[in-house]
Structures are given as C-alpha cells and as structure tokens.
Amino acid sequence: MKVALVYPRFKWFEYNGLSEPLGVLHLVSALRKAGHEPVYVDYSFCSEIDELDHIVEGAGIVAVAISAAAKLERASFVTSHLKKAVPDALFVVGGAYPSIFAANSIDETGADVALLGEAEKSIVELSDLVENSEDYHSMRNLAFYREDGSFAENPRRPVPPLLDEILFPARDVVDYDAYFANGMSEYGMITTRGCPFKCIYCKPSTDMIYGGGIRYRSAGNVVDEIRELVEFRNDPCPKVFFKDDTITMHPESWFEAFRDGLKESGIDLEWHCNSRVDTVSRDKIRIMKESGCRVISFGVESGSQKILDFYKKETTPEQAVEAFRWCHEFRVEATANLMIGFPLETDDDLRLTYNLLKKIKPDDIIVYFSTAIPGRYIHDWAVENDYLATDTNPELLDPARNRAHEVMNMRLPHLTVDDVVSWKHRIERYRSWRKVTSYSKIKRWTSELLSEPGKAIGKAGRVLRGFKGQSD
Ligand code: B12
Ligand code: SF4
C-alpha cells in the first residue's frame, strides 16, 4: 500500500539549523522492507502548499511528523490541506510531540489517530491492517478518540532492545543537494536512543519517545552506515552530526572500535556531537579525536552549582573545567551550551556562569533562554510555583527562537528580562572574543577563507555583530 510520510516543515525557519528528519527516514526503510510503497513528502523547500499533492495522491495512509510544539501549527496547516487532497486516506500523526501529547496532536491537526514512540514496527503493523481492511483500533502504540468521544491510548510495545537490527534511514529519498544549498552542513546520524539522566528541563519527554534508559548500536553497525553513506553520496570525507543525546555514554572501547573500523574502511570522517561534561575522560576525548571528532557541544548550562542542582543536571562546574581542558589539549573544539534566565537565578549566579566561561575558554558558546516546555518537569514546576508567564503561545516553546528574539516564557522574581538580555549580550561579546583568539577557530576560518571566501566573510560579519552583543 502507498503510505505518504510527511515532513511538514512548510515555510519554517529552523533557529537551530536545518537537518534531515532521521526518524521519518527510518520509517521509510521499515515500510519498504515490509513490501509497502512509502513516499517521502518533504515541504522544506516548497513555496506553494499544493506543490506535492501529486506525490501523495492514492495514499492509503498519510502520516505526518511533529517533532515539537513549535511545529504543531505547521503540521495542522499541512494536514488540513492534505485532507482535502486525499480525503479517503487514514491520517496519522507521530514523532516526539504526539508521543508526549497524543490527544492535543489529534485535536490540533484533525488526524484520525496518533502512533506513539518509536514507530518502525507500528507503522508497518498499521499499514498491514489498513491494507487488509482489518480493524486496527486495538493495536499497540495507537491513540485515538472512540466514537463516544473518550480518548484511548493503547499500551505500548517494548522498545526494540537491539538497535543494530533497525534498518538504516532511507537517505535516498532526501534531496540532500537542496539541504546543503540551504545551510545544512552535516549528515545526521544516531548511535544510541534515549538518555538515562533526569534534567528537569528535558525529562520526562524523551522517555515518552524512547521508553527511558539508553540503548546502543555497536561501533561496527555505525561504521557500516557511514560506509553506505560514503558510497551513496560519493564522498569519502563526509561530515556527520551525531544527534545522540549523550554519545559519550559509549565506553572508550566503543570509540576505539569505531576509530579502527573507519580506518579499515579508508573513511576520513569529520564529526561533531553533544555531550555532558561528566561522561568524558581524557582518554575518551583523545580516542574521539583520533576517530575524526572535531567539535563537542557540552551542556554546561550554568556556572552556579545551585542552578545546576535545581536543573538536576548532576554535574559540577569543576567537571566542566576538566572536560574543556582535555578538549583544548587534543584540539577538539569545545562548545558551551548555556541556559540562562531560570526563575531562581540571581545576578550572582549569572556572574558565576560568566566567570566559568572565562575559565573554560570555550571555542564557541550558545546561550539559550531557560524555557518551560510542556511535558517536562520544569513546566510542572513553573506552573506549581506560578512562574509560568501567562502567554502560552507555542512559538515561545523554542529556546533557540527565544534566544534570537530575546523573549522568555517564565517570570523572574530576582531579575528583569533586561538583566538577562544584558548578560546574554555580555556573553555574546566574550564569544566573539573567543572566536578571534581560539586556535581552532582561527585555523578553520583561515582555511575557509581560501576554499569558501563567501562563507568565511559571512562568519567574520557575524563575529563583528557578536561584539555588539548580537547572537547568530
Ligand atoms: C535533531 C533534533 C532537532 C533538529 C531538527 C530535527 C529534524 N530535522 O528532524 C533541530 C536542531 C532543528 C531541532 C530543533 C528543536 N527541537 Co529537537 N531534537 C533533535 C534530536 C536531538 C534528534 C532527533 C532525531 O533525529 N532522533 C532520532 C530518531 C531516530 O528518532 P525520532 O526522530 O524520535 O523518530 C522516531 C519516533 O519519534 C517516531 N517518529 C518520528 N517521526 C515520525 C513521524 C510519524 C508519522 C510517525 C508515525 C512516527 C514518527 O518514529 C521514529 C523512529 O522510531 C531530538 C532528541 C532525540 N534524541 O531524539 C530533539 C527533540 C526532538 N527536539 C526537541 C525540541 C523541544 C526541539 C526545539 C523546540 C528546541 C529544543 N531543541 O529544545 C526545537 C524546535 C524545532 C521545531 N520548530 O520543531 C525535543 C522534543 C520533545 C518535545 N516535543 O517536547 C527533543 C526530544 C529533545 C529534547 N529532549 O528536548 N531538533
Ligand atoms: S538534557 Fe541531555 S543529559 Fe539531561 S536528560 Fe536531557 S538528554 Fe539527558
């Protein structure tokens, strides 16, 4: 049966950068293997809403991806258009947001059902049932409104324990040239699913998608996927962003096997990842560097232990000092991600954060505004303690957008928004200073100036704007 997998990023600007939707691509592979006819419908580069109707035509299921609340409005817009174009199809929503807010996803989009959590198995099961005109309402991971108006959320199947058994994402359906032409710079990939930590600004949302805990792929399986990517894109030196929550949960031996596997395959990989300062060691960073790691983006969040403890981050500023020292030693660029503007933060806490930055000397700094997103403990806490600002506009639920627009969705008893903004500007100025003094940044910028002068000049402009306190 024809199944349309829709990525509804229609006329949407990504504040955090453009990337291919890996989850949807995994579903394309699963459906293909099961003998269905999946079609990938990506609105990222469309200027008219009806531009892709011909691809969706004849689909028995139209499945729309929603990653976050910020995208709900786009998903609703695209779904209501497609409901007119293919009125007889079964409309499904899935992805991170419906896994947490199933009823709301159906209410807002008018979809018939939601598929919750990892969906490689359930999308195939649903497609089989629909194709055979069988009743699907009792299948696991399904949520829907019963005829009497009550909401049903069926039990979930256990998440697949062995990630190596999951098929690689179907990259052949992606128009990578368009993605790269529009600012994407790295292929996405993932080597683990889930995260065992409990930070209040994040959990329990990811547990609702990946079922809690963490599951791993073997290094060999990841090397196989990279080999496939190298062949498919005819690029022996690909750049990859590992989207894992904390890839450094892998032990050192994993990174050794990964490094050796790449070497044996003759692949010169360059990659970057996110990490926590307490899951790295000096040796791990050395081996990561040997396997092509160029940048590690650490969730440093704050220089104040009091704030880290409120976030339940379970890290210390001292661990940040060590992690950044090791990165500088092995010339791995280290980015510090910060989250400022938490209601309990004071001017002294922000000063501690600023002082920590001066100590760890990050090669880059990304300042987010602390945001209470529904489905996370921080949101419950903000509601209970009356810190949530009255405006629940979904647009305010994207920390990257809030940073760019300098707006917040929580009230601050000890600071004004202007205070936070002025600390942000101070940090941005220090960030620009680091960019013109960091060895790695200067080296990269110089080589870019020779190979891609336009890009390098654009970067220099952004650094200059940073000196005025403006972020990218
Ligand atoms: C890469 C990424 C991004 C990228 C873009 C993602 C993209 N192009 O797909 C960028 C950087 C732009 C981004 C931005 C944001 N993101 Co983001 N992002 C991620 C990240 C790190 C990886 C996603 C991924 O590829 N996972 C791997 C694949 C295999 O898993 P998956 O996508 O979940 O797919 C599975 C299921 O969800 C399901 N599924 C997925 N799609 C579909 C579609 C259908 C139809 C069905 C049936 C099922 C289904 O099946 C898949 C296979 O099992 C996740 C964290 C994580 N570890 O997943 C956060 C995450 C999805 N992001 C999140 C959020 C909140 C945001 C932001 C609001 C800001 C932020 N970072 O906090 C913005 C808003 C973006 C927006 N406007 O929508 C949350 C979402 C949770 C929530 N709803 O509250 C997550 C879970 C991170 C977190 N814990 O905070 N993000
Ligand atoms: S913020 Fe990162 S480390 Fe903390 S729970 Fe979320 S994914 Fe895990």
Residue-by-residue pLDDT tens, the chain, 472 positions: 999 999 999 888 776 678 999 999 999 999 999 999 999 999 999 999 999 999 999 999 999 999 987 788 899 999 999 999 999 999 999 999 999 999 999 999 999 999 999 999 999 999 999 999 999 999 999 999 999 999 999 999 999 889 999 999 999 999 999 999 998 999 999 999 999 999 999 999 889 999 989 999 999 999 999 999 999 999 989 999 999 999 999 999 999 999 999 999 999 999 999 999 999 999 999 999 999 999 999 999 999 999 999 999 999 999 999 999 999 999 999 999 999 999 999 999 999 999 999 999 999 999 999 999 888 999 999 999 999 986 666 667 778 888 888 888 899 999 999 999 999 999 999 999 998 887 777 887 888 888 888 887 888 888 777 777 666 6
Is the CB of residue 243 below 6 angstroms from any atom belonging to ligand 1?
yes
| Residue 50 burial (C-beta neighbours within 10 Å; 0-12, 13-18, 19+) | exposed
Helix (H) or strand (E) holding 41: strand 37-42
CA–centroid distance, 67 to ligand 1, in Å, is 5
Q: Which atom of ligand 1 is nearest to the CA of 93?
A: 45
What is the DSSP annotation of 173-219? GS-HHHHHHTT--SEEE-SEE------TTTTTHHHHHH-SS-EE--H
Ligand closest to Cα of 399 equals: 1
DSSP classification of residue 467: H
pLDDT attached to residue 390: 63
Is the CB of residue 419 below 6 angstroms from any atom belonging to ligand 1?
no
Is the CB of residue 275 below 6 angstroms from any atom belonging to ligand 2?
no
CA 301 – CA 307 distance, rounded (Å)? 9
Among positive and negative, which fits the CA dihedral 464, 324, 241, 300? negative
Helix (H) or strand (E) holding 339: strand 333-340
Nearest to 254 by CA among 298, 293, 203: 293
Q: Are 363 and 335 in contact (CB under 8 A)?
A: yes
Ligand closest to Cα of 397 equals: 1
Q: Phi-psi region for residue 185, left (φ > 0), alpha (ψ -120 to 50) or beta?
A: alpha
CA–centroid distance, 150 to ligand 1, in Å, is 28
Nearest to 118 by CA among 33, 31, 4, 209: 209
Amino acid letter, residue 337: N
In the numeric block, the tokens 């009806």 are attached to 50
Is the CB of residue 276 below 6 angstroms from any atom belonging to ligand 2?
yes
Alpha helices in 330-438 (DSSP H): 347-360, 377-384, 399-405, 417-437
pLDDT attached to residue 400: 80
Residue 223, token pair as written in the block: 């090397």
Atom 2, ligand 2: residue with shortest CA distance:
245
pLDDT attached to residue 472: 65
Is the CB of residue 143 below 6 angstroms from any atom belonging to ligand 1?
no
Strand, coil or helix: 2? strand
Strand, coil or helix: 336? strand
Ligand closest to Cα of 243 equals: 1
Contacts (Cβ under 8 Å, ≥6 apart) of 49 = 10, 43, 77, 78, 81
CA 11 – CA 279 distance, rounded (Å)? 38
Atom 57, ligand 1: residue with shortest CA distance:
245
pLDDT attached to residue 454: 80
Ligand closest to Cα of 196 equals: 2
For the stretch 219-234, what's the b/e string if a residue is b when 16 or more beta carbons lie within 10 angstroms of its beta carbon?
Answer: bebbbbbbeebbeeee
CA 123 – CA 271 distance, rounded (Å)? 31
What is the pTM assigned to this prediction? 0.93
CA 334 – CA 155 distance, rounded (Å)? 42
Q: Cα dist. 133→26, 62, 115, 398 in Å?
A: 25, 16, 18, 40
Is the CB of residue 317 below 6 angstroms from any atom belonging to ligand 1?
no
List of domains in the chain: 2-153 (3.40.50.280), 186-437 (3.80.30.20)
